[in-house]
Amino acid sequence: MKIAVAKETDAAEPRVALTPDVVKKLKGLGADISVETGAGVASGVTDAAYEEAGATIAASRADALAGADVLLTVRRPSPESLAGLKPGALVIGTMDPYGQADAIAALATANVSAFAMELMPRITRAQVMDVLSSQANLAGYRAVIDAAAEFGRAMPQMMTAAGTVPPARAFVMGAGVAGLQAIATARRLGAVVSATDVRPAAKEQVASLGAKFVAVEDDEFKQAETAAGYAKPMSAEYQAKQAELVAAHIAKQDIVITTALIPGRPAPRLVTAAMVKSMKPGSVIVDLAVERGGNVEGAIPGEVVEIDGVKIVGHLNVAGRLAASSSALYAKNLSSFLETMISKETKELAVNWDDELVKATALTRDGAVIHPIAKPAEAN
Amino acid sequence: MKIAVAKETDAAEPRVALTPDVVKKLKGLGADISVETGAGVASGVTDAAYEEAGATIAASRADALAGADVLLTVRRPSPESLAGLKPGALVIGTMDPYGQADAIAALATANVSAFAMELMPRITRAQVMDVLSSQANLAGYRAVIDAAAEFGRAMPQMMTAAGTVPPARAFVMGAGVAGLQAIATARRLGAVVSATDVRPAAKEQVASLGAKFVAVEDDEFKQAETAAGYAKPMSAEYQAKQAELVAAHIAKQDIVITTALIPGRPAPRLVTAAMVKSMKPGSVIVDLAVERGGNVEGAIPGEVVEIDGVKIVGHLNVAGRLAASSSALYAKNLSSFLETMISKETKELAVNWDDELVKATALTRDGAVIHPIAKPAEAN
């Protein structure tokens, strides 16, 4: 069984799908591991570190992939970049699967079995494979570091001989994994933190991190958490009431971090241009949803814009800005899933296509698209 | 009595010598305050905020300075930029006074009384005027934020479903005001922190912040603190022993922050190219002494360089990277000094040239250089 890892083909992607720790683990399961030279450099992993862990360094992508049973990847590869893999090889990574029927059909045509890690069920057994959580956690941390780097003041209160520097006031919108880590990090740095979320369960989590919870707590709010633990879209009426509360709150903040994402939908607009305008000059907003349309009016993907003295930070791939840590966790997510598809006896691949994790994530098999998310509508 | 504040003439200087808080205080002492339009913008202070506090906005530098008794400044102004001040006006700011005899003589020729805030005695009464401390404190905080922003890993330990992210190991070299704040900030962010200093008194301060003290503690070390509380230069022998200890320690660090400055001398070289090379790829070094020749071999003023995967951060004017906070404290430092030179009865300037603070800081008066630091050597 040969497992391949190559440099990501998107130059803006510094992460890598495999780290030396995981190489050792997969070697123990009977795999041969081939890593394209330089694949880990942007994540602080040298070729030598891979070799020391037991991988073979391949001089090119083609060499790494030649005859491989499995390709581990960060982003969905193009069909052309898969040349050399065994027919039916597993390609495991984040596949950005929503609304991408054509791209997924092309993977079927390339005759690989593609797995979208984003579709992993949120069940206990699969927690260790949850790439959305592992990357969101680091993005939440990094959002605060990015805010602190753009902010012209210190975050903590400082008592000095010349007077007191007041603590920054930070407001985190969306208290999922990223938001909770942002709250925790801003608290570490000494900010006075508040947070909001449409899920009632978030209230207690926010409070337990020492932050103040800010939300319109009406009946709709109390019923808002979906079974999957994701936020569901709220009514226009609720959104208006919440926006009013939030608008008054935002005007008093130094830092706002928005993290509201709903899988498969555009990001909800949480911060309007008027709210941005209400903030003091020198304030900083970080929009972690900028890649999905943005929570903040005026945010531009990949840029830090300044509007009336307020900076709106729209960095892309925020987890990738901590590539060493995010690659380490991502590689563990992937290998934990891959392990479930390797037979301990034969030390070969043995995919159980009836396993719920496989069923939830497999997009393509035997030349066909098999996942409802990307299946052509048959009646059309 | 008219007090003037103008935009700094160095475009790389975002700080401003006066903030609205201080405007109010000086107004209360009987001053009229004229601020050049836009002077506070880079520190997050609008013209409107100055006006609200009681200042007048001047359309130009010349208008701000016209007929002023006092000019408050961040950096030493050129003689040409002082046109319009009253003869003998006080010019108060940081004057970079060491080895600048010609520039200081030019201020004398321009017939202003220039005061170098850096020369303020380290006595209790003057603590509130200590610009070196107020700015170093913020620089120490900012050094850690800058390190975190360049670092490809998270600083705190994170326990996640996919495994544990280890805490970063941070080493702070020089435990003065900047170093102690760097230690405190790195600890806040969850790093495992160690520190070194040639002053024995630092050992306890470092330990009280929860960091490990790393130093060769021989007799020379035990006698090393000077009366003024600054570090004194150590013998070559001590430096060699300490370098050996430090070299072994640095090889295990993720982040190194150097803060070693000796007033009026070039910064000591603490980190050699070999030490840089010994660090893991992805490590980050921040050199806070880069403007004074640098503590780190390979550091380049104003740049972030990467050598064998190790980043060396050489930002200039690090306190200025937090311009809102650093201006706020700096303005309080200056106004506290200026207050001692204003008569409460007449509400006019009444400089006591025999006051020890005035004597320690006054460089020029009545067209002559009066401070030994910049006096022409008479016997030559």
**pLDDT at B134 exceeding the cut of 60:** yes
pLDDT digits 0-9 by tens, B18-39 = 999 999 999 999 999 999 999 9
pLDDT digits 0-9 by tens, B149-188 = 999 999 999 999 999 999 999 999 999 999 999 999 999 9
Residue of A127, A152, A162 with shortest CB distance to B333: A162
**pLDDT at B379 exceeding the cut of 50:** no
Please compute the mean of the pLDDT values over residues B332-344 and round it to a whole number. 97
Q: Residue A375: which pLDDT band, with cuts at 50, 70 and 90?
A: confident
**pLDDT at B83 exceeding the cut of 90:** yes
A230 as an active site residue: the answer is yes
A96 as an active site residue: the answer is no
At A231 the pLDDT is: 66
pLDDT digits 0-9 by tens, A56-88 = 999 999 999 999 999 999 999 999 999 999 999
Could you tell me if B221 lies within 8 Å of chain A, comparing CB atoms?
Answer: no
pLDDT digits 0-9 by tens, A170-201 = 999 999 999 999 999 999 999 999 999 988 88
Interface of A with B in 338-367 (CB under 8 A): none
* Ordered alpha helix ranges (H), chain A: 20-28, 47-53, 61-65, 101-109, 131-150, 177-188, 202-208, 219-222, 236-250, 273-278, 323-339, 356-361
Dist. CA A79–CA A71, nearest whole Å: 13
Dist. CA A297–CA B61, nearest whole Å: 37
Measured between beta carbons, the chain B residues lying within 8 angstroms of A325 are 152-154, 158, 165
Is residue A197 within 8 Å of A218, Cβ to Cβ?
A: no
Q: Hey, of B329, B330, B335, which one would you mutate to test binding to chain A, going by the most A CBs within 10 A of its CB?
A: B329
Measured between beta carbons, the chain A residues lying within 8 angstroms of B148 are 145, 148-149
Please compute the mean of the pLDDT values over residues A108-133 and round it to a whole number. 97
With CA atoms as reference, the chain A residue closest to B156 would be A185
- Long-range pairs, B53-56, Cβ under 8 A, ≥24: B53/B20, B53/B21, B53/B23, B53/B24, B53/B27, B54/B23, B54/B24, B54/B27, B55/B18, B55/B20, B55/B23, B55/B27, B56/B32
Could you tell me if B280 lies within 8 Å of chain A, comparing CB atoms?
Answer: yes
Contact A43 B152 (CB under 8 A): yes
Length of chain B: 380
Residue of A148, A160, A325 with shortest CB distance to B134: A160
With CA atoms as reference, the chain A residue closest to B254 would be A44
Cβ contacts below 8 Å, chain A against chain B, sum to 142
Q: Residue A263: which pLDDT band, with cuts at 50, 70 and 90?
A: confident
Contact B44 A280 (CB under 8 A): yes
Measured between beta carbons, the chain A residues lying within 8 angstroms of B146 are 149
Q: What is the mean pLDDT of chain B?
A: 94
Which contiguous run of DSSP H or E holds residue B25? helix B20-28
Bin B302: left if φ > 0, else alpha if -120 < ψ < 50, else beta.
left
Please compute the mean of the pLDDT values over residues A247-259 and round it to a whole number. 98
At B380 the pLDDT is: 41
Q: Strand, coil or helix: what is B286?
A: strand
pLDDT digits 0-9 by tens, B251-262 = 999 999 999 988
Residue of B44, B128, B163 with shortest CB distance to A281: B44
Dist. CA B80–CA B88, nearest whole Å: 15
pLDDT digits 0-9 by tens, A20-55 = 999 999 999 999 999 999 999 999 999 999 999 999
pLDDT digits 0-9 by tens, A212-228 = 999 998 888 888 766 56
Contact A153 B309 (CB under 8 A): no
Is residue B44 within 8 Å of A280, Cβ to Cβ?
A: yes
Contact A163 B189 (CB under 8 A): no
Dist. CA A84–CA A70, nearest whole Å: 11
A130 as an active site residue: the answer is yes
Specify which residues A173 forms β-bridges with.
Answer: A196, A258
Please compute the mean of the pLDDT values over residues A307-326 and round it to a whole number. 97
Interface of B with A in 129-148 (CB under 8 A): 129-130, 133-134, 137-138, 141-142, 145-146, 148
Is residue B112 within 8 Å of B364, Cβ to Cβ?
A: yes
Contact A145 B149 (CB under 8 A): yes
Residue of B133, B138, B309 with shortest CB distance to A161: B133
The minimum CA-CA distance between A334 and chain B, rounded to whole Å, is: 10
Q: Which residues contact A159 (CB under 8 A, 6 or more apart)?
A: none
Dist. CA B303–CA B153, nearest whole Å: 21
Q: Is the ipTM of this complex over 0.85?
A: yes
pLDDT digits 0-9 by tens, B317-335 = 999 999 999 999 999 999 9
Measured between beta carbons, the chain B residues lying within 8 angstroms of A129 are 162
Which residue is associated with the tokens 């960091």? B211
Length of chain A: 380
Which contiguous run of DSSP H or E holds residue B36? strand B32-36
Could you tell me if B111 lies within 8 Å of chain A, comparing CB atoms?
Answer: no
**pLDDT at B273 exceeding the cut of 60:** yes
Could you tell me if B190 lies within 8 Å of chain A, comparing CB atoms?
Answer: yes
Catalytic residues of B: 122, 127, 130, 133, 230
Contact B145 A149 (CB under 8 A): yes
Is residue A61 within 8 Å of A81, Cβ to Cβ?
A: yes
**pLDDT at B101 exceeding the cut of 50:** yes
Residue of A145, A165, A322 with shortest CB distance to B328: A165
Residue B177's identity, in one-letter code, is: V
Q: Strand, coil or helix: what is A186?
A: helix
Please compute the mean of the pLDDT values over residues B254-277 and round it to a whole number. 93
Q: Hey, of A15, A165, A280, A321, which one would you mutate to test binding to chain B, going by the most B CBs within 10 A of its CB?
A: A165
Please compute the mean of the pLDDT values over residues A222-238 and round it to a whole number. 75
pLDDT digits 0-9 by tens, B294-312 = 999 999 999 999 999 999 9
Residue of A45, A152, A163 with shortest CB distance to B324: A152
Q: Strand, coil or helix: what is B172?
A: strand
Q: Hey, of B124, B160, B329, which one would you mutate to test binding to chain A, going by the most A CBs within 10 A of its CB?
A: B160
With CA atoms as reference, the chain A residue closest to B279 would be A44
Residue A320's identity, in one-letter code, is: G
Could you tell me if A324 lies within 8 Å of chain B, comparing CB atoms?
Answer: yes
